[in-house]
Structure 1
Amino acid sequence: MCEQFKCGVHFAAIEIHSRTIRSQFLHISGLTRLNMENALLDKEETININYMALNFQEEIRSFIRSLPDIELKHDPMSEEAYFYGSRNFAHFHGPRHIDIRLSKSQQAEALRTHIALHHQYAPQAGWVSCVIETVEQAENTKQLIRQAFDTCVSLKTRSKLAK
């Protein structure tokens, strides 16, 4: 009984000491308890956003893989590039960014309606960039991927007819 009491007192002293250190740290660093809690919430929010981005990326991957005759290849632009025939029409840059190759008219419309961003390096080839952080962005991205795929099919069909 006496030992349990000593343990309880010992643990209570550790808890008080821990609170004192935490309070001294907060004082020294200029953080208030509210700021510390907000920082932790921001970190949790970042983790949730990253988790959601990975889910959206997997959703986009599944959508692309459901399209017929698609090949996943390594490419100088990305280790995860999707091809129809010899044409790269989409590739990822991390979990939240994808580049999509559209026709010029599709590219202009995607940029005009703000569902895509200007591609940094090859906009002249019809490339656009998409950020995937929300359900709406994921749906818009799938729509653009479908357009890019349809363009690839159309180009390949026209090429065969011309031969």
Structure 2
Amino acid sequence: MAKTDGPALVETVRSWPGVSLRPHRFGGTEFVVNGKEIGHMHGNRLFDLLLSKSERDRWIEEGKASPHHIYPDSGWVSVYLKTEQDIACAIEIARFKYDQIKLKGRRT
């Protein structure tokens, strides 16, 4: 059975090529690729990502993320890691963001 908290997410995201971890400026752990933040963890139960407003709205409408826990009207989303499905959603969104960053890196 998969873990239902942050370590399962951390293990997956850090396994992607070029991803490194570093302390996040507001506490927690930040995932970085090509010098850009994919997202960051607060403890083992909360994952935040910055997206375009249209992508933010899409993930929220699909029920895979929630408006950010502090800045609900921003481009940030939060994923509360309570179940295996939450972990899967967080990984899906993180992979989307990772792919976006890698694609932009190839264009420049």
Deviation of 1:72 (Å): 0.7
Distance 1:148 1:122, change over 3 A: farther
- From the CA coordinates, give the structure whose radius of gyration is larger: 1
Structure 1: give runs of 5+ residues left out of the alignment.
1-51
- What TM-score, normalized by structure 2, do the two folds share? 0.84
Find runs of 4+ consecutive structure 1 residues off by over 6 angstroms. Answer: none
Q: What is residue 87 of structure 1 aligned with on the other side?
A: 36
Q: What is residue 21 of structure 2 aligned with on the other side?
A: 72
Of stretches 100-109 and 112-121 in structure 1, the one that deviates more from structure 2 is 100-109
Secondary structure of the structure 1 residue equivalent to 2:63: coil
CA distance in 2, matches of 1:123, 1:77: 19
Secondary structure of the structure 1 residue equivalent to 2:86: helix
- CA root-mean-square deviation: 1.8
Structure number with higher strand proportion: 2
Higher relative contact order (CA 8 A, sep 6+): 2
Structure 1 residues 6-155: aligned runs within 5 Å? 53=4, 56-119=5-68, 120-121=70-71, 124=74, 126-155=75-104
Give me the identity figure in percent.
Answer: 23
Q: How many corresponding residue pairs?
A: 105
Structure 2: give runs of 5+ residues left out of the alignment.
none
Structure number with higher helix proportion: 1
Deviation of 1:81 (Å): 0.5
